[in-house]
Amino acid sequence: MATTNLSYYDKASIPNAKPFRFGIVVSEWNPEITQNLHQGAIDTLIDCGAESEHIISWEVPGSFELVYGCKKMIETQKLDAIIAIGNVIQGETKHFDFVCNGVTQGIVDLNINYDTPVIFCVLTDNTKQQSIDRSGGKLGNKGIECAVAAIKMAAIKNQGRKSNSVGF
């Protein structure tokens, strides 16, 4: 388990996000967590050069619906990367396991079957406090980390294209 804030990033080591278009699909479930992750992602994308009009955000009811939301976003929007944001907290039933496994496998499938990278930003914690700590609390904001991953993956997707020099 992380014990320090892992959300620091060095802008000099990240490609400029200006030429890229990003999608963010956010679960409405546990909004006090997911909205913090969403804001962290947006702030980071913009800080790294993305234009706000090149960031599209959609909401879906829960984490399980993230996969379908991301799939529709891939099929209907011209994007360089998508961030799937959700939060599942362990309860007393196996529901936690089914949702986490389904979302994880669904995002893997999207990454295999489509040419748009989908970044997994789903907190799967044992307690609400752990989720708070990872969505802007003492351990940072995973939305920030996932935005950095999205920028790097967008650069990889566009590697070699004449209109975008990413330094590879």
Instruction: Return the CATH number at 30.
Output: 3.40.50.960
pLDDT in tens, 102-120: 999 999 999 999 999 999 9
Whether residue 143 lies inside any domain: the answer is yes
Helix (H, G, I), strand (E, B) or coil at 135: strand
Is the pLDDT at 71 greater than 50? The verdict is yes
Residue 163 pLDDT greater than 60, yes or no: no
User: What are the Cα distances from residue 125, in Å, to 2, 39, 56, 137?
Assistant: 12, 20, 27, 14
Q: Which residues are catalytic?
A: 95
Tell me if 7 is assigned to some domain. no
Q: Report the range of poorest mean pLDDT among 1-10, 59-68, 101-110, 119-128.
A: 1-10
CA distance 80 to 91: 35
- 91 within a domain of the structure (yes/no): yes
Domain count, the chain: 1
Collapsed DSSP state (helix, strand, coil) of residue 26 = strand
The mean pLDDT of the chain is 93
Is residue 117 within 8 A of residue 150, CB to CB? The reply is yes
**Domain boundaries, position 85:** 18-157
Mean pLDDT to the nearest integer, 43-63? 98
Report if residue 12 sits inside a domain. Answer: no
**Residue 167 located in a structural domain:** no
In a domain, 168, yes or no: no
- Categorize the per-residue pLDDT at 73 as very low, low, confident or very high, splitting at 50, 70 and 90: very high
Confirm whether 5 is domain-assigned: no
Record the pTM.
Answer: 0.92
- Mean pLDDT calculated for residue range 3-18: 84
| Residue 93 domain flag | yes
